[in-house]
Structure 1
Amino acid sequence: MRSAKTYVLVPGAGGSAWYWHRLVPELRRLGQEAVAVDLPAADDAAGLREYSDTIVLAASDHRDVVLVAQSMGGLSAPLACDRLSVTELVLVNAMIPAPGETGGDWWAATGQEQARRELDVREGRSPDAPFDPLVTFFHDVPPDVTAEAMTVEPAQSGTPFEEPWPLSAWPDVPTRVLSGRADRLFPVDFQARIARERLGLTPEVLPGGHLVALSRPEELAARLVK
């Protein structure tokens, strides 16, 4: 019988626990516990340390924790590993920072923009079109979920992007990388290169775009709990 763990779910930019609302019941259906974290994304006084403190506070009563980090969550979730009983860190379409690198510098340092432009060209979109979240993020999310998401405009302070990533090395915990095959922000081949270069890992590819917890919660839950 599969042992139960607690999946602590760290969102990306905007910091809303709502992002995980379709995944939480799927994890529980598989006999697991799930804790969706709300980060202080709108607070300009909150940086990476405050984000990691929030994660620790949300998970401090749990053991056998699997930390799951979406997108920007890759900056803060690793910082909580030394203060929790973490059995695994799972990066889902996530930023993978290097020691001393700011989140703001990450984009150019990794070549994300060039990778995004090349994918747009390959798939027939104009790489110079104005940013449209419906195209980049919600292209594979169900219409009703997209409509609900559009009712709230999540704020994201720039403070966490201005701080050098403080760890001298990646945490010494088992790490997996999950990449959405249809991610238009962090193309899957881009994610594979960064995971290989920075962690020596090969991502597991699954269906879905950047917001895979909204578009493919059943598949994501199955991959997390495998």
Structure 2
Amino acid sequence: MTYVLIPGAGGSADYWHLLVDELRRRGREAVAVALPAADPHAALPEYAAVVRAAVDPHPRVVLVAQSLGAFTAPLVADHPAVRLLVLLNPMVPAPGETAGDWWAATGHGPARAAYAAAQGRDPHAGVDLAVDFFHDVPAEVTARLLDGAGEPESEAVFVGPNPLRRWPDVPTRVVTGRDDRFFPADFQRRLAVERLGVRPDELPGGHLLALSQPRRLADLLESYTRDN
């Protein structure tokens, strides 16, 4: 079984480097995909084509998609090699929904604000990478990732049409970070149940579990492959 790993916003394959190491220690093949996030003309169909090309050489694949990557993964899950789809702290899309429309449609803003207030943080604060994303990531890993940060995600992937018409007929799992400040766990749980009929599995940690909990995440992924 090969793991094909789809990053979230920014499209950097380097997000997965610790998880790739953990999976390879277990004798697994892992392919971290770099998406053309800085290309102003690249939208979901172009993202899906890049991931499909990464899947093509492998006979049996688990697709793992982080956050915004959940918009790309179901467009590739019809590939005959794909045995399982795993969504990690995901933006679970509805058929035809754009990534730009997702935020208001799901009630993300109020959910994030309520969670911040419950934790004693400013519910009206803007997004802060250190506070919302890297709060539980080791300092040396944070420095590496932020130092190598490229251009932000192109607007095309948020406004371009979403060709998804129905959820693919492939087993789907959802993994939630119990301490995710950007997509709070209760919000993720509701969305996964409403849109997929799936109750998430939870791990301790925030939005970037592949950086903060790579070993636990690898263990969980391996438990899924034993069931497929």
TM-score (norm 2): 0.95
> Which residue number in structure 1 is paired with residue 25 of structure 2?
29
> Which residue number in structure 2 is paired with residue 110 of structure 1?
106
How many residues align? The count is 222
Contact 1:74/1:96 (<8 A) preserved: yes
For structure 2, which runs of at least 5 residues remain unmatched after alignment?
A: 224-228
Contact 2:55/2:81 (<8 A) preserved: no
Q: Secondary structure at the match of 2:148?
A: coil
Per-residue deviation, 1:166: 1.3
Q: Which whole-Å deviations, capped at 9, do the CAs of 1:170-190 have from their partners, x for residues lacking one?
A: 010000000000111110010
> Which residue number in structure 1 is paired with residue 174 of structure 2?
177
Per-residue deviation, 1:208: 1.0
Q: Which whole-Å deviations, capped at 9, do the CAs of 1:85-144 have from their partners, x for residues lacking one?
A: 100000000111111111000000000111000000000100112321000000000000
Q: Secondary structure at the match of 1:81?
A: coil
> Which of 203, 206, 224 is residue 203 of structure 2 equivalent to?
206
For structure 1, which runs of at least 5 residues remain unmatched after alignment?
A: none
TM-score (norm 1): 0.96
Equivalent runs, 1:70-219 vs 2, <5 Å: 70-155=66-151, 156-219=153-216
Q: Which whole-Å deviations, capped at 9, do the CAs of 1:127-174 have from their partners, x for residues lacking one?
A: 112321000000000000011112123321010111232121101000
Per-residue deviation, 1:220: 0.4
Say whether residues 1:63 and 2:87 are aligned partners: no
- What is the aligned-residue identity percentage? 58
Q: Which whole-Å deviations, capped at 9, do the CAs of 1:10-33 have from their partners, x for residues lacking one?
A: 000000000000000101112211
Matched letter for residue 82 of structure 1: D
Matched letter for residue 218 of structure 2: A
Q: Which whole-Å deviations, capped at 9, do the CAs of 1:20-62 have from their partners, x for residues lacking one?
A: 0000010111221100000000001111011000001112100
Separation (CA, whole Å) in 1 of partners of 2:210 and 2:142 = 12
Matched letter for residue 163 of structure 1: G
> Which residue number in structure 2 is paired with residue 40 of structure 1?
36
Separation (CA, whole Å) in 1 of partners of 2:80 and 2:18 = 25
